[in-house]
C-alpha cells in the first residue's frame, strides 16, 4: 500500500517513513529540502534496507501537486508533515506561514477529494491549547486564541480538515497534536538537524555539550512550578512516529466513514527544563554549561498530555523514558559532529 509522506525528510517525517517501511508500506516522500537534506534518504535506507520513492518539489506549486497525484493515483493515504514550524519566524513572516501551512494543505485536500477513499493524517500541535486551564491536557480542553501565526496555522488547519471531512464521504482524517518531540532513531542513522541556532531545548543542549554552543540559556526560573522552570511533555520521536502508523491503520481499516478525530501524542509526564538538563547530564556523563536568564516571550508555564484517548482508542502508548530519548539525541549529535 502506497503512502505519501510530505516533509518526509524532516525530523518527524523521516522517523515516520522508517516505521511505515518497517510495517510494509510503500513510502513516497515529497520534500523541498528547505529544512532537510537528501542525505536523510541514506539514513532511512540504512535502517530499513529500502529507499523510499522521493520527489523534490515545493508543494506550494499547485500544478505540481496535481501532476503528482495524477502520476500516483494509487496513493492510499497521506501523512502531511511539510510545514514551517518556527514560532518567532512566523511572527516576522506571517504570509509565508499561511502559504506554506494553509495553502498547501488546501491543495492536497483538493486532490484527495477526487479519490474514492482516502486517509489523511495531519501534524498538529499542543500549541492549540495555549496555557490550558487543567493539567494534564485532554483533547476536550478548549482551543485557545493562537499566540502566533504558526499556532494559528495549526488551529485553522484542523478546522479546514474538519469542514472538509463533513462533506467528503470518501475522506477519513486524524490530527495528531504533538507535545515536544525529541531524540533520534536508536541507530543514529537519522535524527534532528536544525539549520542555524536551534530554538528548541534539546538540540540546544546537545549542541552545547558537543561544543558548538558556548552555553545554554534557561529561560526563566521564576515560574510557578516546583523548580521554577517551565514544564513540557517530551516524547521520543520514534514513539511519535509509531503513533502515525497506528492512526493511519485505524483510518485505512475503517469500513465506514469516520468523523474527524484529534489525539494528543505525548508521554503523559511533564518534565521541567532543569529535570531535562539533569537527565541529560546523567546519560551523557558530563556537566552542561548553562545559566538562568529571563523568561522567553510567549512561553507557557506547563503543558503535558492526558494520553488516555490515544492509549485506549489507538492502542498506542509512548514507551521510551526521558533518559532514553536524551541518550538517543546525544548519540545522534556525536555521530553528526564526528
Ligand atoms: C515550541 C513552540 C511550539 C512549537 C514547538 C515546535 C513556543 C512558545 N512554543 O515549543 O508552539 O510547536 O516549539 O518545535 O515557542 N528552553 C530554554 N532554553 C532554550 C530553549 C528552550 O530554557 O534555549 C525552554 C523553553 O523556555 C521551554 C522548554 O525549554 O520551557 C521547551 O522549549 P522548546 O523546545 O522551544 O519547545 P516549546 O516552547 O514547548
Give pLDDT, residue 183.
98
Phi, psi of 286 (to 5 degrees): -155, 155
- The preferred substitution site among 212, 219, 220, 291 for testing ligand 1, maximizing ligand atoms within 8 Å of CB, is 219
Beta-carbon contacts of 207 under 8 Å, excluding residues fewer than 6 positions away, are: 198, 213, 333
Residue 338 binned pLDDT confidence (cut-offs 50, 70, 90): confident
Question: Is residue 136 over pLDDT 90?
Answer: yes
Q: Hey, whose CA ends up nearest to atom 20 of ligand 1? A: 201
Question: Is residue 300 over pLDDT 90?
Answer: yes
User: What's the 14 CA to ligand 1 centre distance in angstroms?
Assistant: 21
Beta-carbon contacts of 228 under 8 Å, excluding residues fewer than 6 positions away, are: 220, 221, 222
Q: Hey, whose CA ends up nearest to atom 13 of ligand 1? A: 200
Q: Hey, whose CA ends up nearest to atom 16 of ligand 1? A: 201
d(CA 32, CA 30): 7
User: What's the 128 CA to ligand 1 centre distance in angstroms?
Assistant: 14
Q: What is the mean pLDDT of residues 127-140?
A: 97
User: What's the 131 CA to ligand 1 centre distance in angstroms?
Assistant: 13
User: What's the 183 CA to ligand 1 centre distance in angstroms?
Assistant: 15
Beta-carbon contacts of 313 under 8 Å, excluding residues fewer than 6 positions away, are: 250, 261, 263
Q: Hey, whose CA ends up nearest to atom 19 of ligand 1? A: 201
The dihedral through the CA atoms of 153, 156, 161, 164 has a sign that is negative
pLDDT tens-place string over residues 246-286 = 999 999 999 889 999 999 999 999 999 999 999 999 999 99
204 C-beta closer than 6 A to ligand 1: yes
Index of the ligand 1 atom closest to the CA of residue 87? 15
pLDDT tens-place string over residues 13-31 = 999 999 999 999 999 999 9
302 C-beta closer than 6 A to ligand 1: no
User: What's the 87 CA to ligand 1 centre distance in angstroms?
Assistant: 9
Q: Give me the half-sphere count of Cα atoms (radius 13 Å) on the Cβ side of residue 323.
A: 6
d(CA 254, CA 20): 18
pLDDT tens-place string over residues 172-224 = 999 999 999 999 999 999 999 999 999 999 999 999 999 999 999 999 999 99
Q: What is the mean pLDDT of residues 322-331?
A: 98
User: What's the 151 CA to ligand 1 centre distance in angstroms?
Assistant: 13
Mean pLDDT rounded to a whole number for the chain? 97
The answer to whether the beta carbons of residues 153 and 102 sit under 8 Å apart is: yes
Q: Hey, whose CA ends up nearest to atom 26 of ligand 1? A: 219
Is residue 150 part of the annotated active site? The answer reads yes
Phi, psi of 285 (to 5 degrees): 50, 45
298 C-beta closer than 6 A to ligand 1: yes
Give pLDDT, residue 149.
97
225 C-beta closer than 6 A to ligand 1: no
d(CA 194, CA 36): 8
pLDDT tens-place string over residues 43-92 = 999 999 999 999 999 999 999 999 999 999 999 999 999 999 999 999 99
Q: Which helix (H) or strand (E) holds 232?
A: strand 231-232
The answer to whether the beta carbons of residues 247 and 263 sit under 8 Å apart is: yes
Indicate left, alpha or beta for 7 from its phi (over 0: left) and psi (-120 to 50: alpha): left
Give pLDDT, residue 196.
92
Out of 25, 97, 150, 178, pick the active-site residue: 150
d(CA 110, CA 120): 12
Index of the ligand 1 atom closest to the CA of residue 276? 29
Phi, psi of 137 (to 5 degrees): -90, 125
d(CA 229, CA 295): 9
User: What's the 273 CA to ligand 1 centre distance in angstroms?
Assistant: 10
User: Which three cell numbers, joined as nine digits, stand for 116?
Assistant: 474514492
Index of the ligand 1 atom closest to the CA of residue 151? 11
% of the chain with per-residue pLDDT over 70: 100
Give pLDDT, residue 287.
98
Amino acid at each position: 500500500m502506497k503512502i505519501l509522506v510530505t516533509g518526509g525528510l524532516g525530523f518527524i517525517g523521516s522517523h515516520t517513513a522508517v516505521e511505515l517501511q518497517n510495517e510494509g508500506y510503500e513510502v513516497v516522500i515529497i520534500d523541498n529540502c528547505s529544512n532537510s537534506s537528501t542525505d536523510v534518504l541514506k539514513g532511512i535506507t540504512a535502517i530499513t534496507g529500502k529507499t523510499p520513492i522521493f520527489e523534490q518539489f515545493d508543494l506550494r506549486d499547485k500544478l505540481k501537486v496535481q501532476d503528482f497525484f495524477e502520476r500516483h493515483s494509487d496513493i492510499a493515504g497521506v501523512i502531511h508533515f511539510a510545514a514551517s514550524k518556527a514560532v518567532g519566524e512566523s511572527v516576522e513572516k506571517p504570509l509565508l506561514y499561511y502559504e506554506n501551512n494553509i495553502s498547501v494543505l488546501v491543495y492536497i485536500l483538493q486532490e484527495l477529494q477526487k479519490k474514492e477513499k482516502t486517509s489523511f493524517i495531519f501534524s498538529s500541535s499542543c500549541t492549540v491549547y495555549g496555557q490550558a486551564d487543567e493539567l494534564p491536557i485532554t483533547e476536550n480542553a478548549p482551543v485557545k486564541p493562537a499566540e502566533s501565526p504558526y499556532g494559528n496555522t495549526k488551529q485553522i488547519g484542523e478546522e479546514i480538515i474538519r469542514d472538509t471531512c463533513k462533506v467528503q464521504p470518501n475522506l477519513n482524517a486524524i490530527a495528531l497534536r504533538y507535545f515536544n518531540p525529541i531524540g533520534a532513531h536508536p541507530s543514529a542513522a537519522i535524527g534532528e538537524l536544525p539549520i542555524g541556532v536551534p530554538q528548541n531545548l534539546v538540540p540546544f543542549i546537545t549542541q552545547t555539550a558537543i561544543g558548538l554552543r558556548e552555553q545554554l540559556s534557561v529561560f526563566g526560573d521564576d515560574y510557578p512550578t516546583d523548580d521554577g522552570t517551565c514544564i513540557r511533555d517530551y516524547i521520543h520521536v520514534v514513539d511519535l512516529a509509531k503513533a502515525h502508523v497506528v492512526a493511519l491503520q485505524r483510518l485505512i481499516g475503517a469500513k465506514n466513514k469516520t468523523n474527524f478525530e484529534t489525539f494528543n501524542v505525548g508521554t503523559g509526564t511533564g518534565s521541567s527544563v532543569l529535570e531535562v538538563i539533569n537527565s541529560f547530564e546523567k546519560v551523557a556523563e558530563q556537566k552542561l554549561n548553562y545559566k538562568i536568564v529571563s523568561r522567553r516571550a510567549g512561553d507557557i508555564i506547563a503543558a503535558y498530555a492526558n494520553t488516555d484517548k490515544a492509549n485506549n482508542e489507538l492502542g498506542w502508548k509512548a514507551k521510551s523514558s526521558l533518559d532514553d530519548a536524551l541518550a538517543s539525541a546525544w548519540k545522534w549529535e556525536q555521530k553528526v559532529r564526528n
